[in-house]
Chain A
């Protein structure tokens, strides 16, 4: 159970306080309701590039990192398809420094052209390091546009291609900032060794004066229901061929999300799972296999993937996977399997709450759904999933005509 209190400032900033006097630190997490799904198709990679620019100095503070380091603080940030999330940790007594820094960069950035030039280069190096210079690094750059034809999830958060990053201009930067980085488009969570009164006072002081902005209402093209199976074959310089199959599924805040999540756990979580036992241990077709759900806010993907043993044809591997999926859909899961994946999920929740920063992030993300208290209902919602739910949701999701398959052939 995560205890928390919340309030909203007049400018629309939603604030959540989670007191944990057992730690000596305080954490501050700001979630901006903007991700790569909000980008223009010709200017992709921007939300993430922008995250880098947020560390390049704000209107009154030339350098973000140094003053925080000076008070013993640490910080980082991440961007995904849905959100951009900034977080910092400080010795609890120095939490006001966090308010000062975060509020100033919410107020306005420095818009220093040199910062844009350097961060553009850094992000291009990141693109190369993580997506081009790694075996299997480009998999998601290829799989996304196969699975999504209309919705902006069709590009990866790093961007479709390096040229989009090369072409970003300072006007783009300003436009993006004033359209998305506003108090009424953000959720602030302060947690750790703090009190509600203290957080309220500091929030009013530092964030209160920031004016509300006009934020364009999100209006994304929904992904049309898929009606035929899609297929892509790729040759790559990798040592082992790999198989990817994705299926459209409900988004993170949909009531069937947990059933879909447990379904993927039944397929592949742990070494006793169906895919692992049959395909890695018994038949030795795959050397690794996994399935997972993407957990995106808009309808997402359930993905099954794995690397095959040398010499195994990917078409045969797919047949084997299909057979296991088919059996699950026809016969259903067993009571014992459902208990098992629920226990695993419950255990993950409990372990996930050990770290105060995780609790803060979970609260911020939950609040995005409108109700932060879903963090405390998750265990109950998982418990409520029945065998019938698993089968019903499985039959909706795990259909051939709802799937996109990629054969990633090892070519030497």
Chain B
């Protein structure tokens, strides 16, 4: 007779096998990182430029320079560019970030030549048409107005403002007047920053495709971006509740500055954050959602940017529950840094952390994302393996000391908008 009350036996696997990337340095000095794998006839070619908001001298120039790349070249209009990508079923995804700008081309491998040639043309001769800029700006402003109606957007914005300062690239949110003042020549000027790049190629790649990719990116100019240091004042602890008329719920954000990926305590911090609010069985989810039903979801996470990291907890709750939710979150933070995590909970959190890290790498694109992280942060190839063993060996005493040092609620910024 089957006994359904007894769980099946399981194994604890701590391996983490990333595809072995092949890094090729082209004649111009640019690296192309090949991550071959997968059985579908698809390829992703991602260029990462050291040209994010960090390098702006005029706010918004990185965002709009990136955004306008596919809106015109010396000989093609935005329509002609879109027409060609669409015709081949390819897709160009441009993501301007705080540190980097990413330009990713997704295509069927069999169609890569014409669409990659188009990408090359875009990168060699972008024209940044004035009218395209005006359109993009006006659409941006409307989207911004919509976002400003969302309590979650307002709360995240206020959180980064408070933590990094309004005039720091990580704390900055572009405003209407700033984007309106951008000109086509600002973008042409900022495009000079798009010279420090690395290419990540993942998916199905044959020899002919590889040769073509190498030749394409050899034609671009490669320079090293100048180091840029930006100073800021340490954030002060605040508690702020901002009323937003007509909202049904309030968005909460609590957190503090944290560390970047290369920091020796990084793995310990993210695992402590995992126990607190990193998965469905975490303490915050159990307490605030599963026991009290105060929210649809609550999370805690570490956001490691290139120059600094931060830790943040977020949730949406009914306005009348703001006080109790803050109190319960503080209670959980205090408990994490004062009481030992029970062994059974530790085992669950640990196995879940390791298992979900392993489960992330089921596609060549996911492998490429991990490899990209290692490359850009200059981390060793066995970084994730080491992270897993740190988590596996972490003791309850280490969790207490890590939480006490990095997740101490007494140093937190606490915000509610709604």
Contact = CB atoms under 8 A, between A and B. Distances in A.
B73 to A, nearest CB: 15
A284 B135 contact: yes
List the 8 closest A-B pairs by CB distance, nearest first.
A72-B355, A121-B293, A347-B89, A239-B145, A271-B82, A343-B89, A69-B352, A270-B86
A110 interface: no
B316 interface: yes
B86 A125 contact: no
Contacts of B280: 65, 69
B38 interface: yes
Contacts of B281: 65-66, 69
A238 B149 contact: yes
Interface string B143-155: 1011011110000
12 contacts: A65-B280, A69-B355, A93-B10, A96-B9, A122-B290, A125-B295, A129-B316, A287-B139, A309-B142, A350-B108, A354-B38, A354-B42
Nearest to B246: A237
Interface in B347-366: 347-349, 351-352, 354-356, 358-359, 362-365
Contact of A133 (B7, B248, B347): B248
A72 B356 contact: yes
Contacts of A73: 352, 355
Given A336-B87, A340-B87, A134 B150 contact: yes
Interface string A10-51: 000000000000111100000000000000000000000000
Given A94-B11, A121-B293, A129-B249, A74 B359 contact: yes
B296 interface: yes
Given A100-B8, A118-B290, A346-B89, A270 B82 contact: yes
A128 interface: yes
B307 interface: no
Contacts of A309: 138, 142
B79 A277 contact: yes
A354 B40 contact: yes
A362 interface: no
Contact of B293 (A24, A70, A117): A117
A125 B10 contact: no
Interface in B138-174: 138-139, 142-143, 145-146, 148-151
B85 interface: yes
A375 to B, nearest CB: 13
Interface in B19-52: 37-42
A61 interface: yes
B5 interface: yes
A97 B7 contact: yes
Nearest to B357: A72
Contacts of B203: 354
Nearest to B107: A347
Given A237-B149, A354-B365, 7 more contacts: A65-B281, A74-B356, A118-B293, A122-B296, A130-B296, A205-B2, A284-B138
A120 interface: yes
B217 interface: no
A190 interface: no
A256 to B, nearest CB: 22
Interface string A121-142: 1110110111011111000000
Interface of A: 22-25, 59-61, 65-67, 69-74, 89-91, 93-94, 96-97, 99-100, 103-104, 107, 117-123, 125-126, 128-130, 132-136, 205-206, 209, 237-240, 269-273, 277, 280-281, 284, 287-288, 307, 309-310, 336, 339-340, 343-348, 350-351, 353-357
A25 B82 contact: no
Contacts of B149: 135, 237-239
A360 B11 CA distance: 24
A239 B146 contact: yes
Contacts of B7: 67, 70, 97, 100
A240 B358 contact: no
Interface string B257-287: 0000000000000000000000111000000
Given A25-B358, A122-B289, A239-B146, A270 B85 contact: yes
Given A125-B295, A125-B296, A125-B316, A104 B4 contact: yes
B88 interface: yes
A69 B355 CA distance: 8
Secondary structure class of chain B's binding surface, majority of residues: mixed
B325 to A, nearest CB: 11
B146 A72 contact: no
A353 B203 CA distance: 12
A71 B86 contact: no
B194 interface: no
Q: For B41, B142, B295, which residue has the most chain A Cβ atoms within 10 angstroms?
A: B142
Nearest to B71: A271
B78 interface: yes
A205 B4 CA distance: 11
Contact of A70 (B111, B142, B352): B352
B355 A90 contact: yes
Given A74-B359, A107-B4, A119 B40 contact: no
B318 A125 contact: yes
B265 to A, nearest CB: 24
Given A100-B7, A119-B293, A133-B151, A70 B348 contact: yes
B206 interface: no
Contacts of B82: 270-272
A94 B10 contact: yes
Nearest to A239: B145
B35 to A, nearest CB: 13
Nearest to B317: A125
Contacts of A353: 40
Contact of B351 (A72, A104, A123): A72
B393 interface: no
Contacts of B2: 205-206, 209
Given A240-B142, A351-B106, A133 B247 contact: yes
Nearest to A63: B281
B146 A71 contact: no
Q: For A130, A132, A281, which residue has the most chain B Cβ atoms within 10 angstroms?
A: A281
Contacts of A90: 355, 359
B291 interface: yes
B362 A23 contact: yes
Contacts of A128: 248-249, 318
Nearest to A100: B8
A203 to B, nearest CB: 13
B13 interface: yes
A240 B148 CA distance: 12
B90 interface: yes
Nearest to B39: A22
A287 B138 contact: yes
Contact of A25 (B107, B142, B359, B364): B359
Contacts of B139: 280, 287-288
